[in-house]
Structure 1
Amino acid sequence: MISKRIDSFDGLRALAILLVIGFHFYSGEVNLFNPPYNSIFKDWNIFKYGYFGVQLFFVLSGFVIVKSIADKNNLKNFIYARFLRLFPTMVLCCTLIFLFSILINQSKAFYDFIPSITFLDPKIYNAIFPGHNFKYMDGPHWSLFVEIRFYLLISFLYFFNKNIFFINLTIITISVAILNCAAFYFHFSYLTRLLSQLFISRHLGYFIFGISLYYLYINNFYKFIILLTCSIINVYTYIFINFYEPDYILFEPVATAIVTPLIFILVYSSLKIKFISKLLSCKLLVIIGSCSYTLYLIHNFIGTNIIKIIGNPLNFLPGFSIFYSFIVILFLLIISIYLDKFIRYTIRH
């Protein structure tokens, strides 16, 4: 049984959440690199690609979830552990967002709790309850719906027959890539949607790469190479299709083609290169990474609105937006650390 926590992965989670925050603060709704915030760094906005932090999270999930399943070797224990990790934090963070929305007179609908705490797409509830406009309590919560479907897929494959888990996973990954090419070529849009819903096909390659690294971690080089190949085929199939059909995937195809191998190399290096592993295991990054889930859930709505409230009277000061955005990030980090400690303490006792 492999139960040791990997500190360098917390460092990677820290990088991932900082990229996501950077995207939302410096390239999203408030965009502190552009007017009216008068940033002196507007021509150097690398955070417009910060959304790849989510893909980094998916790679880490691929590794961690298969490791967790192998450690527990029991479906009930796995589901219970995932529930304790995700649900209490989501409820507490949604409550905080809801109360904050009332405080700033942007009150969210109470039923917006439902999609977030059930980790389901609001479209499902809007179809069941027409006339309501269900939304996530905060936009970034969409990725949890992706995560949950990955958990279901992997746990089904593993506990259905763990002896052929690797074979089934390989077949599904390759099949999804082939079927997506066929759906694109023959214009079967319904098949594209079906694959996306059942097999999270737009993100599957990143999860599979994480799983391949798990096999490398346990010194099974053969399975690592096969799944690495599968993940590359899956990701670059989408990149190829996206050149001909914009919006087929979520991200820019050229940026995805460049950044994806960098993500893969970084995560691989965190396991195999001591210097990189030690660098990512520094205390500050581990602290940020350990509360990254909590920070991810609360940063967008609360953070961007605090920036708007603070920033509007101070827009005339060039570059000042960058300074106070760091203060906001630090504030959110402190809240996340204490929320995470509170939740872990409550669960333990």
Structure 2
Amino acid sequence: MSQRKRFTEIDALRGLAALAVVMFHYTTRYEERFGIDNGGFSDIFVFGEYGVQLFFIISGFVIYMSILKVKSVSDFAIKRSFRLYPAYIFAVVLTFTVVSIAPIDQLKIDIMPALVNLTMFQDFLGAPRVDGVYWTLRVELTFYILMGILLFFKVEKNVMWIVYSWLAFSVGVQLMHLSVDNNTTAMIREFSIASFSHMFIIGMMFYSIWQHGDKLKYYAVIGMCIGYDLIFLSVENALFTALFVLAFYLVIHNRMQFLSSRALVFFGTISYPLYLIHQNIGYVVINKMHELGFTHPIFTVMLIGATILAAYLIFRYVETPVQNALYKIYKGQRKPGGKKKIATD
């Protein structure tokens, strides 16, 4: 199978997933939380929440590819931190500031838990989130930690052993929760990410297919993951998983090259800051618009456009320059002639 350095189609899929989540939150989810119809779109974008599943599949593909290329656990952790924290810290500060001055008490949190949010480990430390969408970061971080463990023990290339073990463990967690439904088993299921592990596994299998070709064992695992979804989550969930599997199959077989258009790839480029800033700030703006009588659907469209613009500005003037500066420092410290060298495992 022909190899490419980067799949722009996957970037586009990430962008489309982010847009779907934004539209879901600004319509269906807004109506659920505030009991106010926002433009009559709630039925149209009700399935937008499934964009998060696509995020996790993409992460399985990209992060598994990353751990096969990095030199150490510290290298992996540092590069992930450079990727995640610049936009995230800015988004936390911005969201907390906007929500703090807005008259919506249900979105507010105190300053101390907000400071805990700057670590990105608020869910692990029992602190409330500055923005509800940050729940997915706990899932992603758990996956990163698992990948780091594999890298530490140098077993990251044993992909079939990894996915069989992880899927079996997830089945065990789900069965335990079904048989003993209490707070303890619910917490185990939540923090083991058993409800999302199969998404990451699907991504890992597609990376293996991209690297090693169409092999039955990879597709068998993907089939197991769809079955897992059907048994332990829902028929609807499994249908969307199957849809995303089809999309990924077409992408890695070069059948969706139309996704490489500059417009779609642009949304993939800004997808991370777009996801981070859209929800609570958007709710504040929507509430203000309704207060002023701006209830026509065009104002929701305008808000989406403004959110996209804000995400681009964060990408252009915060995320990119800070990342570039951090990578430059890191590469300089790793050079033999550098004044300081970061320790590696």
TM-score range for the pair, normalised by the shorter chain length:
0.7 to 0.9
TM-score normalised by structure 1 residue count: 0.82
Cα distance in 1, alignment partners of residues 32 and 179 from structure 2: 40
Q: Letter of the 2:307 partner, please give it.
A: L
Percent of matched pairs sharing the same residue: 23
Instruction: Report deviation, 1:120.
Output: 2.6
Instruction: Report deviation, 1:30.
Output: 3.8
- The partner residue of 2:204 within 197, 204, 211 is 211
Look up the match of 1:135.
128
Asked whether the 8 Å contact 2:11–2:268 carries over to 1, the reply is yes
- The partner residue of 1:94 within 87, 92, 95 is 92
Asked whether the 8 Å contact 1:7–1:280 carries over to 2, the reply is yes
Instruction: Report deviation, 1:263.
Output: 1.1
Cα distance in 2, alignment partners of residues 335 and 280 from structure 1: 23
Cα distance in 2, alignment partners of residues 84 and 257 from structure 1: 34
Instruction: Report deviation, 1:23.
Output: 1.1
Q: Letter of the 1:11 partner, please give it.
A: A
Asked whether the 8 Å contact 2:61–2:206 carries over to 1, the reply is yes
Structure 1 unaligned spans of 5+: 127-133, 243-252
Look up the match of 2:83.
85
TM-score normalised by structure 2 residue count: 0.83
Instruction: Report deviation, 1:13.
Output: 0.9
RMSD: 2.6
Instruction: Report deviation, 1:150.
Output: 0.2
Distance 1:231 1:196, change over 3 A: farther
Look up the match of 1:331.
306
Asked whether the 8 Å contact 1:158–1:165 carries over to 2, the reply is no
Cα distance in 2, alignment partners of residues 12 and 332 from structure 1: 19
Instruction: Report deviation, 1:10.
Output: 1.3
Asked whether the 8 Å contact 2:30–2:38 carries over to 1, the reply is no
Mapping of 1:62-211 within 5 angstroms?
62-106=60-104, 108-122=109-123, 124-126=124-126, 134-162=127-155, 165-180=158-173, 182-184=175-177, 186-187=179-180, 190=184, 193-198=187-192, 200-211=193-204
| SS in structure 1 of the partner of residue 68 of structure 2 | helix
Cα distance in 1, alignment partners of residues 117 and 219 from structure 2: 32
Cα distance in 2, alignment partners of residues 100 and 206 from structure 1: 33
| SS in structure 2 of the partner of residue 46 of structure 1 | coil
Equivalent residues, number: 317
Cα distance in 2, alignment partners of residues 38 and 63 from structure 1: 36
Cα distance in 1, alignment partners of residues 96 and 120 from structure 2: 17
